[in-house]
Amino acid sequence: MKTIFLTSLLCIVFLSAQDNDTTCLESSLSNTTLSLKEEAISDIQRKEQYFDMYLNEYTDNETRNTVFQVSGSLFNIDPYKSNYFLPITYDFIGHQGRQNAEAMFQISLKKNMLYNFLGFGESMSIAYTQRSWWQIYKHSSPFRETNYLPEVYMSIPWYNNKSPIKNYKFGFIHESNGQPEGNSRSWNRLYLDVVMQYSGVFINPRVWYRVPERAEDDDNRDILDYMGYGDLTIIYPYKEQLFKLFLRNNFDFDENRYAVQFDWTFPLAKNGVFGHVQYFDGYGESLIDYNVKTRRAGIGLSLSR
């Protein structure tokens, strides 16, 4: 059944590349993209003005560019996934040794390393995502769990306005929680990620292959029984609001394990601060809970969407 699911999903993705009558990503977001570009250009211009007016002049451009990078922090590090802080979350399912109420946050950044190296407009990038669950309302406020996700991937745009497919991404991702034996969890995956757009709605299926480990080193041998072999994200932008629905299932109908996450973000200020509401139900919210069910709601702030 799992093999049939993976094969069917990939077939749907590749066959849909032949569809037409779909508005391309660039045109649907052109106004927003232009505004963001203008803001970025203005920010760079402000830094250049400060550099020219207040710092000592350098005679060679190479040294000047180096100092400008340092003074302006222009290392082209961008947000990757959502960056958010939810100071109030509540798990409606009780778990031993923890409070139901806790804080949660995610940091996610990427750095583009190579562009068009193979000649078809692809980009090679590295990324880092960190998710933390913080028992902030407990005495001494310990961090209960932190998951670390370094990643390397190649992103390939699909240059066909008539196709719903907008981008392919191939990557390798490591995930671990850095805890000692007994609570240690980790796994490595190779994945294929596709971004499609249908009438303004973005559909993002992803399938993965777990890199095998030696039995004596594997601290979560049955993780695929809970996490399955892929996931699906549906994104719906409506004016200034953004709705995301994340779905995962192991497609084992005898012992079915699932995950559903809903995120709603909306602007609070014009400086890129957003309100963030999140709801999660299912397995695998964190590595320590990959085989434990969670039902959590939270509210807070997001700095990127």
> Tokens standing for 139?
């005495």
CATH architecture assigned to 2-304:
Beta Barrel (2.40)
pLDDT of residue 301: 97
Lowest mean pLDDT among 5-9, 28-32, 113-117, 293-297: 28-32
Q: Which of 174, 186, 199, 304 is catalytic?
A: 174
DSSP-H helix ranges across the chain: 2-15, 25-28, 30-54, 61-72, 223-227
Q: Active site includes 71?
A: no
> Tokens standing for 56?
């000592």
Residue-wise pLDDT for 28-60, tens only, equals 344 444 555 666 566 666 666 655 666 667 778
CA dist., res. 220 & res. 81, Å (int): 25
Q: Active site includes 174?
A: yes
Q: Which of 176, 186, 199, 276 is catalytic?
A: 176
82-101 core/surface letters (b: 16 or more CB in 10 A; e: else): bbbbbeebebeeeeeeeeee
Residue-wise pLDDT for 188-220, tens only, equals 999 999 999 998 899 999 999 999 999 888 999
Q: Tokens 């407009």 appear where?
A: 121
Q: Which amino acid is at 92?
A: F
CB-neighbour burial class of residue 113 (10 A; exposed 0-12, middle 13-18, buried 19+): exposed
CB-neighbour burial class of residue 116 (10 A; exposed 0-12, middle 13-18, buried 19+): exposed
Answer whether residue 234 shows pLDDT above 60: yes
For the full predicted model, state whether its pTM sits above 0.95: no
